Amino acid sequence: MLLDALERTGITPITAKKLHAFAYLADVLSPVWGFVPYDGKILKMHDGPHYAELQKELDSLVILGLITVYDLEYVEVGEFGARVSGSYELNFQSEDLSGMLAYLGATSREDALDPRDSDNHQYLVELAGALSTLPDDEIDLAAKVDATYSNQEFGFSNVIEFDYVSTDRGNENKSFQITERFQEFLPEDSHLSPGEKVYLYAEYLGHQINA
């Protein structure tokens, strides 16, 4: 689903580092659309977000022929050693791909096994579109400057929790809080849609990168 959303906005093939950054931002910004994060915690690392389970699933989909990988290489990750990296895109030559995407809600609510998956796909496409407004070399940096990931209260090698948005807890989702504040700068009779909030947040990330 992540790769399909990125494909629709022309950001593929995409490096593993950028894909993991996109997955993180999809999680931390999911409350903007009223969704619960798929994984509400992340280990803060110097080189940005990385999900071991996501990488495992990517590798499995490559073996199944649903995803194509290019430019495989080893990447040093400091104290965590090294990992295999590459660039990924959907393999549209696969006879199984279109049916699987339909079941996951990438075509219509009627084809989806769960109609809610169609809403989630729409969210991912909106987010991918918002990130496509950034220069290609800044997409992975966007996750590192994200308000939650860059929170100085949490050092590297610590786990950041953001699966709730309440302000009376220590590990609140600061990214969601910023998207909610955008409304304060608009006239009282105006209203921002979830998609507009995501695009504004992408613009905010761009400013943070170049600050």
Tell me the C-alpha distance between 206 and 211, whole Å: 9
What are 171-210's pLDDT values in tens digits? 578 999 999 999 888 888 888 999 999 999 999 999 999 9
User: Locate tokens 């992540």: which residue?
Assistant: 2
70 forms bridges with which residues in the sheet? Answer: 87
How would you classify the pairing of strands 82-90 and 67-76? antiparallel
Tell me the C-alpha distance between 146 and 151, whole Å: 8
What does 61-83 look like in DSSP terms, one character per residue?
A: HHHTTSEEEEEEEEEE-GGG-EE
What ranges do the domains of the chain cover?
A: 2-209
What are 145-169's pLDDT values in tens digits? 999 999 988 888 889 988 865 544 4
- Mean pLDDT, all residues of the chain: 90
In the prediction, which pLDDT does 133 show? 94
- pLDDT greater at residue 209 or residue 211: 209
The tokens describing 175, both together, are 């990214």
Tell me the C-alpha distance between 196 and 178, whole Å: 13
Tell me the C-alpha distance between 64 and 100, whole Å: 12
In the prediction, which pLDDT does 83 show? 80
pTM for this model (two decimals): 0.92
In the prediction, which pLDDT does 171 show? 55
In the prediction, which pLDDT does 65 show? 96
In the prediction, which pLDDT does 167 show? 44
What does 143-186 look like in DSSP terms, one character per residue?
A: HHHSTTTT-TTS-TTSEEE-S---TTSTT--HHHHHHHHGGGGS
In the prediction, which pLDDT does 170 show? 46
What are 56-114's pLDDT values in tens digits? 999 999 999 999 999 988 877 777 677 878 999 999 999 999 999 999 999 999 999 99
In the prediction, which pLDDT does 169 show? 47
Model confidence at 144: pLDDT above 80: yes
